[in-house]
Chains A and B, each alone.
Chain A
Amino acid sequence: QKEVEQNSGPLSVPEGAIASLNCTYSDRGSQSFFWYRQYSGKSPELIMSIYSNGDKEDGRFTAQLNKASQYVSLLIRDSQPSDSATYLCASGPGGYQKVTFGTGTKLQVIP
């Protein structure tokens, strides 16, 4: 059973702080990793993808991948109340095959 594990939260951070979201995956064959943001009542939207070990930065977001530890993280700098949402981690073999989603971590940014 391929699994992606996330702490359900809620993770509460003050506005302006760094939010750190973590994810582990069980399938060592995974090649593609994604972070999605889902607001309540809405469908998920892709915010970051990462395919190789190390860090990938995009604006206030940084994704980190460590394949040896089977660990993916997402850092959100200068957190804003609008970042309050559920963040889903996903991994997959790449290509058009299905990915496996974690259950999501709820983030609350306190003004």
Chain B
Amino acid sequence: GAVVSQHPSWVICKSGTSVKIECRSLDFQATTMFWYRQFPKQSLMLMATSNEGSKATYEQGVEKDKFLINHASLTLSTLTVTSAHPEDSSFYICSARDQEGAAFFGQGTRLTVV
């Protein structure tokens, strides 16, 4: 299957600072990537769809000015959590699809805001 690499795997930041998470497709070109958030013992929640060369599409209730998504190339999408607060602490996961629709996930980034 496709390989998706996410970095960093964990990060601790101070409240009010910004954190950037990178998601790379290593062996294929992904025009579309997806960003999820998962709180402990809860299901995956789709935050936004990242589109190469155009604006991301955000799910209802997700603040686009807080969660900045950039998809500048066919192999890289980034999610920046701006002015992070403790309630933003979560597990953030990116994914890309193959042509049959199967989602392949990055390793995930555990964000802790203190």
Contacts and interface: CB of A to CB of B under 8 A. Distances in A.
Contacts of B42: 103
A88 B42 CA distance: 11
Interface stretch (A17-25, A40-48, A61-69): A40-48
Interface string A67-102: 000000000000000000000101011111111011
Interface string A18-42: 0000000000000110101000011
Interface in B2-55: 6, 31-32, 34, 42-44, 46, 49
Given A43-B106, A43-B107, A44-B105, A94 B44 contact: no
B58 interface: no
B105 A93 contact: no
A10 to B, nearest CB: 12
B34 A98 contact: yes
Interface string B101-112: 111111110100
B44 A32 contact: no
A99 B103 contact: yes
A37 to B, nearest CB: 11
Contacts of A99: 97, 101, 103
A53 B51 CA distance: 32
A41 B106 CA distance: 13
Nearest to B104: A46
A93 B97 CA distance: 12
Contact of B101 (A36, A43, A45, A97): A97
Interface in B45-90: 46, 49
A42 B42 CA distance: 13
Interface of B: 1, 6, 31-32, 34, 42-44, 46, 49, 91, 93, 97, 99-108, 110
